[in-house]
Amino acid sequence: MSTILSKLQAVDSTIQAACTASQRPRADVHLLAVSKTFGADAVLEAFAAGQSAFGENYLQEALDKQVAVAAARPDAAVEWHFIGPIQSNKTRPLATHFDWVHTVERLKIAQRLSEQRPPTLPPLNVCLQVNISGEATKSGVAPADLVALAQQVALLPQLKLRGLMAIPEPETDVSKQRQAFAAVRALFDQLNADGFGLDTLSMGMSADLGAAIAEGATIVRVGSAIFGARHGA
């Protein structure tokens, strides 16, 4: 069985190869290790291997894991990203215990996150989740509504609007993977042409990170390629 260290090295090689192929600096692409369903022990093992940013989908699981990780390594500078669906009555722990939230898709949620972000902390980094696959999935703001949402989120004092996040429909054909990511990239470029100054494109997972990097991803969210197959959830 390969270790988390060796799998992290393999993912890094894949990222490096994709960067080389698209003539992008390796430093432009950040690896977010998606640790959902895996325990604090897995996070600690990845941290010991040099990984510092972790993505979680389920709030209570994430909060429990954060406590366990902090107890084991009080000195560890771990960066926590929330990448799951947000319930509007659960925004306070998100605003309090995370560094990033990738899945903002409604103004009401953004307003609550901004109001509930403790003033002692730096503004919460957020991405707007875009529904790039249309009917196929319900998550994310429709591209037609994106500019209006971005304009309002950008005004919220305790949020820092960093960019866009997308989860395209799973697709095995690389050119189709690239098409979906290119559409997200086009929205990102359009917002930046409007002066938003975004620096983050959160897209690409274990199965399609090469295509995402080719289309400009700056954060790839990788779970199973690092931690192995998930059981259940």
* Contacting residues toward ligand PLP, per CB under 6 A: 34, 36, 57, 83, 167, 205-207, 221-225
Q: State the Cα–Cα distance between residues 66 and 79, nearest whole angstrom.
A: 10
Q: Which residues of 199-217 are buried (b: 16+ CB within 10 A; e: fewer)?
A: ebbbbbbbebbbbbbbbbb
The answer to whether the beta carbons of residues 34 and 229 sit under 8 Å apart is no
Q: Please, which residue, 44 or 208, has the CB nearer to ligand PLP?
A: 208
To ligand PLP, the closest distance from the beta carbon of 221 in angstroms equals 4
To ligand PLP, the closest distance from the beta carbon of 56 in angstroms equals 9
To ligand PLP, the closest distance from the beta carbon of 81 in angstroms equals 10
Q: Please, which residue, 102 or 112, has the CB nearer to ligand PLP?
A: 102
To ligand PLP, the closest distance from the beta carbon of 75 in angstroms equals 27
Q: Please, which residue, 34 or 109, has the CB nearer to ligand PLP?
A: 34
What residue is closest to ligand PLP based on CB?
A: 223
To ligand PLP, the closest distance from the beta carbon of 17 in angstroms equals 17
Q: Please, which residue, 2 or 120, has the CB nearer to ligand PLP?
A: 2
Q: Please, which residue, 196 or 227, has the CB nearer to ligand PLP?
A: 227
Ranges of H-type helices in the chain = 4-21, 40-48, 59-72, 91-97, 107-116, 146-153, 174-193, 209-214, 224-227
Q: Please, which residue, 64 or 194, has the CB nearer to ligand PLP?
A: 64
The answer to whether the beta carbons of residues 125 and 113 sit under 8 Å apart is no
The residues, ordered by sequence, that sit 6+ positions from 229 with a Cβ below 8 Å of its Cβ are none
Q: State the Cα–Cα distance between residues 113 and 106, nearest whole angstrom.
A: 11
Q: State the Cα–Cα distance between residues 210 and 192, nearest whole angstrom.
A: 24
Residue 145 is classified by DSSP as G
To ligand PLP, the closest distance from the beta carbon of 3 in angstroms equals 17
